[in-house]
Chain A
């Protein structure tokens, strides 16, 4: 199946006074039509940056310095502002983290929905309003026909995130970038919102790039998962394989540090140290100072994504051309 979205060797740089910072360093992945790709990693690993680059809303002075992003084979990383505006909302939707701040407080939710639809779809005001009510019903807002004229502050946080989801999907995009869509919500609401997002995107066949640091959400929702570390993809593969049998030592450490529900553990394993700052990324593999399996090559040469068991991992342990004694990972 041809990929819907292809990200190839994406490099994002920030010019600063002390030189250029590389926030994303040759990130590559695909998203297939209808697929949910989970993107996980620590804060600052470049998850949100990748999402922002895809929707063309990198915060200046950040800029795409290399690589490409293609949507159905068409390059979208080098479009003009105007052309990119037509893609945002219409072909790639976005869901942001905090529903309390992503809705404009001065407009009714109905007006925000109809404005979005009328910008992208060729429909009149009455039809837009009819569809807006439909969307509010679809995302589970009770008494949608009345609530359409309510302002954002009249909704609870969970309800507002439902409205945000309706806004992201109302122009029927082919994919949605959901950046931490449940992080700001109460735990009891999180599952509902994720279930809603999952159901609606499945019904419409919409692809999702789900950025989160919540492995539970990923395990439940994603088809495949990409683990990011220090602006690079450390491992990518089917969600079951990554969660159950991660190949890259970093993903393995990440999965091991999730407390199991089945039994109590005395000591929760943790990864020593911290992710390097962008100013001080070590040569070779960015993970080498923290890696329990580190060997000489890791400190010199940067690993590509290599086939590793059922996934692909950026780790020299899986270099079949120069086999080493395979450590237990």
Chain B
């Protein structure tokens, strides 16, 4: 088990290095930071001083190594746009994104899995057909449109929920949370639904098709032939066997919920990392972009590791693996 985790971490190193190389490449290929930072008028001395200060006169590989060394210590330099350390900006914005991603995932799982089980078990009922039609809408409507429609209905017409921002937050150490205030919860509702809807429909369809397949399997037939109760067959024997593929997809989707919260955060002006990233892109704020890229890569690597560990928990065939 320990060896497995270790090997996974070792495998993650080349992945992270490759991403780091791309992130580092941004500095060289996306605009000229010197021109951006100095503005319209500057002297040659000013320019040379800045180049030396940023270390841009050194060979590329030295610059890359220094970039990695700094990244490992959590230093990504100063934001060009806000002139503040990138690390501070991200730490400040991360709680908003993570809380939103958590709520969206909970919505997607808590609604998607039961709907998938139901549509798998009662294929022909009208409710199943309604769920499937609904899921088609969820899959095909773009996120920003869903967000805007929700704002239109619940904020503009009904006035029940806020259309932007996080509401009041409470500071717990460096973590600012919206979970402790009523307005924080209210502000979470629409963005969570918007962000989670696509995953919800995806999970529902996945669970449904897996259920249909497992219900046809020999061991479910044999469970029926042994006269086991329907509840035990459907939830004990069938649902558990659908979990391995579901965990894979849900894990990857959780990564993309965090990574692609950009659109939702923009629609709802949610003060998270996605919004920070999109603002940085529009002003070519390369240090922030590079840091965001690395962070998201790290999130994906971490989630994949957790997914692999969950397989072990679910499937005994992997636990004992060889031997016997």
Binding site for B on A (CB under 8 A): 55, 57, 85-90, 93-94, 96, 98, 101-108, 115-116, 119-120, 150-151, 153-154, 164, 167-168, 171
Contact = CB atoms under 8 A, between A and B. Distances in A.
Given A119-B229, A151-B317, A151-B320, A103 B222 contact: yes
Given A98-B218, A119-B227, 10 more contacts: A88-B224, A89-B225, A96-B222, A104-B223, A105-B315, A105-B316, A105-B317, A119-B229, A120-B227, A153-B316
25 contacts: A55-B225, A85-B224, A88-B224, A89-B225, A89-B226, A94-B226, A98-B218, A101-B217, A102-B221, A102-B222, A103-B219, A104-B241, A105-B219, A106-B315, A106-B316, A107-B237, A115-B228, A115-B236, A119-B227, A119-B232, A151-B316, A154-B320, A154-B324, A168-B226, A171-B226
Contacts of B236: 115
B314 interface: yes
A203 B184 CA distance: 70
B240 interface: yes
B132 to A, nearest CB: 20
Interface of B: 217-219, 221-230, 232, 236-237, 240-241, 314-317, 320, 324
Contact of A88 (B227, B241, B324): B227
Contacts of A151: 316-317, 320
Nearest to A104: B219
The 9 A-B pairs at the shortest CB distance, nearest first, are namely A89-B227, A94-B225, A88-B227, A101-B218, A89-B226, A102-B222, A151-B316, A104-B219, A154-B324
Nearest to A177: B225
Nearest to B323: A154
B240 A106 contact: yes
Interface centre among B225, B228, B230 (most CB of A within 10 A): B225
Given A96-B221, A103-B219, A105-B219, A85 B229 contact: yes
Interface centre among A104, A116, A164 (most CB of B within 10 A): A104
B282 to A, nearest CB: 50
Contact of A87 (B221, B227, B228): B227
Contact of A96 (B218, B241, B315, B320): B218
B219 A101 contact: yes
Given A57-B225, A85-B227, A88-B225, A115 B218 contact: no
Contacts of B241: 104-106
Contact of A116 (B226, B240, B314): B226
Nearest to B319: A151
DSSP class of B's interface residues: helix, strand, loop or mixed? helix
Nearest to A108: B316
A84 to B, nearest CB: 8
A153 B218 contact: no
Contacts of A105: 219, 241, 315-317
A167 B236 CA distance: 17
B226 A167 contact: yes
Contacts of A150: 324
A38 B109 CA distance: 50
A56 to B, nearest CB: 9
Contacts of B217: 101
A87 B225 CA distance: 9
Contacts of A154: 320, 324
A167 to B, nearest CB: 6
A108 to B, nearest CB: 8
A249 B219 CA distance: 39
B71 to A, nearest CB: 41
Contacts of A94: 222, 225-226
Nearest to B318: A153
Contacts of B227: 85-90, 116, 119-120, 171
Contacts of B316: 105-106, 108, 151, 153
A159 B316 CA distance: 18
A102 B218 contact: yes
Contact of A153 (B229, B237, B314, B317): B317
A180 to B, nearest CB: 12
A13 B46 CA distance: 91
Nearest to B241: A106
Contacts of A103: 219, 222
A83 to B, nearest CB: 11
A43 to B, nearest CB: 18
Contacts of A116: 226-228
A79 to B, nearest CB: 12
Contacts of B240: 106
A90 B240 CA distance: 25
Contacts of B222: 94, 96, 102-103, 164, 167
B224 A57 contact: yes
Contacts of A153: 316-317, 320
Contacts of B229: 85, 119
A164 B222 CA distance: 9
Nearest to B232: A115
A85 B232 CA distance: 13
Nearest to B218: A101
B219 A119 contact: no
A107 B315 CA distance: 9
B216 to A, nearest CB: 9
